[in-house]
Amino acid sequence: MQSILKAGLILGLSFISHFAFAAPAWELVGEKDGIKVYRKEVPGSPLVAFKGVKVMPVPITKVAQVILDEDTEKKKQWIDMIKDFQIIEKGTYESITYSAYDLPWPLTDRDYVVHSHLKIDNEANQILIDLKSVEHPKAPKTIGVRAELVRSLYKLVPRPDGSTEVTVEIQTDPKGALPKWLVNLVQKGWPANTLRNMEVQALRPDTKEHAIIKAKFKGAHELAQR
């Protein structure tokens, strides 16, 4: 009997713990121009994570090219508020980069040193690009405040018609003496603006297919053979 009661207690506590500590769900906050924007509370923080989702009528190889392109001027054409981008270290699937952002007055400009990791997931039929802040001895001096990118993610999923579902997530701590409500307000528009600009760049006739994605991603091969 005691063993049965003990097992029931453990099961009950596990059930309670599952719901008490479950991660907050994404909440849809708006949809415009085919872009859905979501928000999610961050446990233990007044800062909010945001996510944008859009289906682009562009092959996944071209969308990946826009995101992974090393051309600084092209970065400025689609990443919202960016004013400088530099590559500090570069590998096949990983890189360390510096980026600076022009925030609206009266906010002080922010910059980031970011580690980026590309994962080609053929089993799940998706491409993931994970980004987070790091420290690096060769990073430029800050232009104002060195902010922290807690986590950002680009997820690309090819669709049967040749289009690509693009998801971007961002959770960042801009540091400095900024009201958290203002930070959340500014960040709320970032996913939609970035996705909108990314699509314009991907649709350009001179945008190439990303060589590694074209060679290594099975989904790209399957679409090309149709």
User: For the domain that residue 114 is a member of, what is the CATH number?
Assistant: 3.30.530.20
pTM score, two decimals?
A: 0.83
Q: What are phi and psi of 75, to 5 degrees?
A: -60, -40
In a domain, 134, yes or no: yes
Question: Whole-number mean pLDDT of the chain?
Answer: 85
* Domain span at 54: 25-224
- 3-class state of residue 138 by DSSP: coil
Does 68 fall in a domain? yes
- The answer to the question of residue 39 being in a domain is yes
pLDDT of 104:
76
- Tokens 């002080």 belong to 108
| 1 in a structural domain | no
The rounded distance, in Å, linking the Cα atoms of 49 and 43 is 10
What total of structural domains would you count in the chain? 1
pLDDT at 156: 98
Look at residue 4 and tell me if it is in a domain: no
Q: Is residue 48 in a domain?
A: yes
What does residue 184 show for φ and ψ, rounded to 5 degrees? -65, -35
The pLDDT of residue 225 is: 55
Whether 8 is covered by a domain: the verdict is no
Beta bridge partners of 119: 128
In a domain? residue 191: yes
pLDDT < 50 positions in the chain: 1-21
